Structure 1
Amino acid sequence: MESTRMINGTSVHQESRKLWQYLASISACMLVAGVGTALAWTSTVLPQLASADSWLLITEEEGSWISSLLAVGAIAGALCSGSMADKMGRKKSLLLLSVPFLISWCLILVAKIVRLLYIARFVVGIGVGAGCVLGPTYISEIGEVSTKGTLGALFQLFLTVGIFVAFILGSVLNYTMFALVCALVIVLFLITFYWMPESPVWLVSQNRRQDALAALSVLRGENYDPKQEVNEMQKAAEASAGRKPSIIETAKDPVNKKAMVASFGMMFFQQASGVNAVIFYTVMIFKASGSSIPPELASILVALVQLVMSGVAALIVDRAGRKPLLMISTSVMSVSLIALGYYFHQKNGGNDVSSLGWLPLVSLIVFMVAFSVGLGPIPWMLMGELFSAETKAVASSVAVMLNWSLVFVVTKMFPTMNEELGSDMTFWSFAVVMAAATAFTYMILPETKGKTYQEIHDELQGGAGEARPLKTVP
């Protein structure tokens, strides 16, 4: 692989290897797989606990709190993660996040009362929220411009891997073994990520130039000269020296304000799409379609669709671009939700829907495919691409807090919306939101494909945003 630089107006090609960029990102994403197992744990375990022969019988209300307390913990975790990453570094902070995950799984293993499960879910939520900030931040800071899209898409891919694995294991393992395997995922993360390099961007911000050079030598390969790249990082660090702006101060800068509107807007639309509500409704939709597929298998099939299409997204995002994928994703999701709403409108109106039995199943699959190639992975990438080094931590924290707040709100409000508005109007409401997301993407979102932060900054500032060669000195 080659990287082109300009020295005294002459093109110079440097050989840059991508292997360690992928290895470090995959290792970091093992924690994200742990996030996926934590999210999906309730899907298979709560029905076991709610059954009449359960060793720890829970009510429907207790089950809803076991599910939703993770989101509350995630909000708290996102709040403190930015300052922790700036003080301790990206690598140490990520390694430290294994603690709340392991504490949670230990509590789940020994729980004899429901309150311990409440505590366990809140504690793991802290790790989940912080991991959603630190994972994308680390990945965006170790990757080259040419790999940022693919590396960024690994976040969503490994999240779906964790969910898929949890659905399968939860259906074949007992309560204790399931929790042990989930804990082993975190142990595997610790074993592999311990050997990975620290973020060179953070090292430069701490005046550790030699360590940054060493980290880049690992990430780019021995034949790559990292000095110019470190020089560019150092210029950016010096320009922001001593500046650790609050979110209010960050919002006062016109460029940062545009970046926040774009990033926060996509985080809002990701959850306001109703994706969690649709996943929650999966079993009912499969039943409504007349399918004889068991609910457990239905959940596995939906997770498999997410997994496969998240892998596709990782392969195409650096070729197709962020904006086109997001516009296709949100518009197709809107059409799918309209179709779902139409089915339930006909069904609830007493009409014969036997000829439309295929529609809910197809709509659901198309919805998840569209989500997985665009609105699922790209908002997490944008969080790492739109902000400068000094604003990334605080802005990412707020973005993730917004995301998990909406997870909590949408999950809690969906049953009420379904009861008060009807399932048809509920899905149509989400469809309107997705149509708005398409318009928002077209009018507001900058294209970040193949661009350095400076080029993105220039575009947000009102420049042309055209890619320019990087000038270097010998």
Structure 2
Amino acid sequence: MVATEDIKKTVSQEDNDGMSHNPMLYDPLDGVVKTSKTRQYIAALIICLGAVAAGTALAWTSPVLPQISAPVVQYNNSTIVTPSNSTGNETSPISPPLPHDDQLQLTVAQQTWVSSLLAIGAFLGALPTGYIADAIGRRYTAMAMDVPFILAWLSISFAKSAGWLYFGRFLIGISTGSFCVVAPMYISEIAETSIRGTLGTLFQLLLTMGILFIYVVGSMVSWTTLSILCLFVPIALLLGMVMLPETPVYLLKKGRRAEAALSLKWLWGRYCDSRSAIQVIQNDLDQTGADASFLDLFTNRGARNGLIISILLMFFQQFSGINAVIFYTESIFKSAGSSLDASICSIIVGVVQVIMTLTSSLLIERAGRKMLLLFSSTVMTICLAILGAYFDMKDSGKDVSHIGWLPLLCMVLFIITFSVGYGPIPWLMMGELFMPDVRATAVALTVMANWLCVFVVTKCFGIMITEWGSDITFWFFAGCMALATVYVAVAVVETKGRSSSQIQTWLSGH
């Protein structure tokens, strides 16, 4: 403990705040100033339980639909494939590992609704979350938006009809869209600049862990047991959020200076220099002035440029072709001579995504955002072009058995580079590119754009395969990634280690 005489005045004594003499608000002398990152990691991990919950929701249809679907005629040993999710982690085809549920037998049309209602709910849940987060705070918004998660899993776990599944999937979509907004926002407002990138990648990392959980556990238990197990994640999230503070940025924005300092002390450690940190945040708030209107997102040059970059990164994430690659996971494994079951292929893909997203969190403060994005899109462009050429030869009747290893190599490299670049970084930069006055609305619009891209890719993918063929479809996505490489190289600057004001100076062209 630091002796009392080694303590200076608090950040709020000059404001005559009633909390100004709280001992926790005193800053130490310069010689003993230090910060602790432990609680920042704890806070980020707790709110990212929302990402785990979202991941379980996104992948749930993969092992479940085969168990609750009405018998269908199989053509050429084909299997049912479920739609994509918001992060590019397509749920792959999985053969039903358990006895069929005779009580629930969904038609193909009903399965489509069960899959698509999540995306509809996520799209509708994203925009209001921005306004709610500005009205009641990031912490209370996360707690409120966690309730639909709990209700949804209860509805799904005990569903006896398609209607209850519809209700649950729509509710779970609302929470998924909401946490795509509030979790990155919360993390960006509590993190020190030195670890902002690492904490920002936790959202994608925990989302992939949620997906992997479904792949592994879903292959071993019934769909009702799986749904009940998923319920424990949002419950743990709600309990965890009770112990977390509101973000210092939001509290200071509302004029609650002493509470903002207490929040900083909780997050950065008792012996941090909260006075200086509060002043930096206040300077950013003073620079923006009062709460911005919706139109300010488009009339203010810095906000507009940030929104364009953020939305385009989400566009490139979804049009990277990740869904096309994972759609063909099983056939690519078979081309390489593998006899693995589809569920094992999915687990392998899930493990690769988790490991490489974790690697990204370790690299991002060293390599930087821009370098990882450029590396990611460049390698993905090459892999997609080769996959297109492979399927072109295969569809034209040429013998490709001697190069069956090539598409497998391309698929693995593609998933690796997606997971270190375009998987996590758009979510991270979304929280970095906006000032506090417009952040909530801008992040909500970006998430809505992401889900719109999900819808477009999901609906158009089947048509593209049918009308264009696999080869041209892969080449189309390769073209998108080549465009992404050029765009990032020309229009995106490195944000690693830069403060909000420095990033805004660049966005404003000063």
The question of a shared fold, defined as TM-score above 0.5 by the shorter chain, is answered with: yes
Partner of 1:35: 54
Bigger CA drift: 271-280 or 100-109? Answer: 271-280
CA distance in 1, matches of 2:31, 2:471: 60
Bigger CA drift: 274-283 or 127-136? Answer: 274-283
CA drift of 1:285 comes to 2.9
1:127 matched to 2:175: yes
CA distance in 1, matches of 2:442, 2:336: 43
Partner of 2:96: none
Residue 429 of structure 2 is aligned with which of 364, 374, 382?
A: 382
Partner of 1:99: 147
Residue 325 of structure 1 is aligned with which of 343, 353, 372?
A: 372
Contact 2:37 2:268 in 1 (8 A): yes
CA drift of 1:220 comes to 1.1
Q: Write out per-residue CA displacement over residues 105-144 of structure 1, whole angstroms, 9 at most, x where no aligned residue.
A: 1111222222221221111110000100100000000000
CA distance in 1, matches of 2:111, 2:386: 31
Residue 249 of structure 1 is aligned with which of 287, 290, 296?
A: 296
Partner of 1:310: 357
Q: Write out per-residue CA displacement over residues 382-437 of structure 1, whole angstroms, 9 at most, x where no aligned residue.
A: 11101000111011000000001111111121111101100111111000000000
1:89 matched to 2:140: no
Bigger CA drift: 446-455 or 45-54? Answer: 45-54
Contact 1:323 1:447 in 2 (8 A): yes
Residue 232 of structure 1 is aligned with which of 280, 304, 312?
A: 280
User: CA 1:277–1:97 in 2, change beyond 3 Å: closer, same or farther?
Assistant: farther
Residue 260 of structure 1 is aligned with which of 300, 304, 307?
A: 307
CA distance in 2, matches of 1:359, 1:120: 41
Contact 1:95 1:193 in 2 (8 A): yes
User: CA 1:349–1:12 in 2, change beyond 3 Å: closer, same or farther?
Assistant: farther
Amino acid at match of 2:312: G
Quote the RMSD (CA, aligned, Å).
1.5
Contact 1:274 1:410 in 2 (8 A): no
CA distance in 1, matches of 2:441, 2:195: 24
CA distance in 2, matches of 1:92, 1:295: 41
Residue 156 of structure 1 is aligned with which of 198, 201, 204?
A: 204
Question: Identity percentage over the alignment?
Answer: 42
Contact 2:212 2:351 in 1 (8 A): yes
Contact 1:150 1:315 in 2 (8 A): yes
Bigger CA drift: 222-231 or 174-183? Answer: 222-231
Amino acid at match of 2:50: L
Q: Which runs of structure 2 are paired with 1:441-452 in the superposition (5 Å)?
A: 441-452=488-499
CA drift of 1:284 comes to 3.2
Question: Over alpha carbons, which structure has the higher Rg?
Answer: 2
Bigger CA drift: 407-416 or 145-154? Answer: 407-416
User: CA 1:411–1:284 in 2, change beyond 3 Å: closer, same or farther?
Assistant: farther
Q: Write out per-residue CA displacement over residues 269-289 of structure 1, whole angstroms, 9 at most, x where no aligned residue.
A: 001112233323323333343
Residue 17 of structure 1 is aligned with which of 36, 49, 54?
A: 36
Partner of 1:468: none
CA distance in 1, matches of 2:413, 2:167: 37
User: CA 1:182–1:434 in 2, change beyond 3 Å: closer, same or farther?
Assistant: same
SS of the aligned residue for 2:193 comes to coil
CA distance in 2, matches of 1:290, 1:334: 25
Contact 1:446 1:460 in 2 (8 A): no
CA distance in 2, matches of 1:131, 1:393: 12
Contact 2:40 2:191 in 1 (8 A): yes
Q: Which runs of structure 2 are paired with 1:159-178 in the superposition (5 Å)?
A: 159-178=207-226
SS of the aligned residue for 2:244 comes to coil
Partner of 1:417: 464
CA drift of 1:317 comes to 0.1
Q: Which runs of structure 2 are paired with 1:56-205 in the superposition (5 Å)?
A: 56-205=104-253
Q: Which runs of structure 2 are paired with 1:451-462 in the superposition (5 Å)?
A: 451-462=498-509
Partner of 2:76: none
Contact 2:383 2:413 in 1 (8 A): yes
Amino acid at match of 1:84: I
SS of the aligned residue for 2:33 comes to strand
Bigger CA drift: 439-448 or 278-287? Answer: 278-287
CA distance in 2, matches of 1:411, 1:192: 34
Partner of 1:427: 474
Contact 2:32 2:271 in 1 (8 A): no
CA drift of 1:12 comes to 7.7
Q: Which runs of 5+ in 1 are unaligned?
A: 1-10, 464-474
Contact 2:385 2:474 in 1 (8 A): yes
Amino acid at match of 1:17: S
Q: Write out per-residue CA displacement over residues 12-33 of structure 1, whole angstroms, 9 at most, x where no aligned residue.
A: 8831110110010011111111
Residue 389 of structure 2 is aligned with which of 342, 365, 376?
A: 342
Q: Which runs of 5+ in 2 are unaligned?
A: 1-29, 72-99
Amino acid at match of 1:111: A
Aligned residues: 452
Amino acid at match of 2:151: I
SS of the aligned residue for 1:136 comes to helix
Amino acid at match of 1:91: R
Q: TM-score, normalised to structure 1's length?
A: 0.93
Contact 1:277 1:411 in 2 (8 A): no
Partner of 2:404: 357
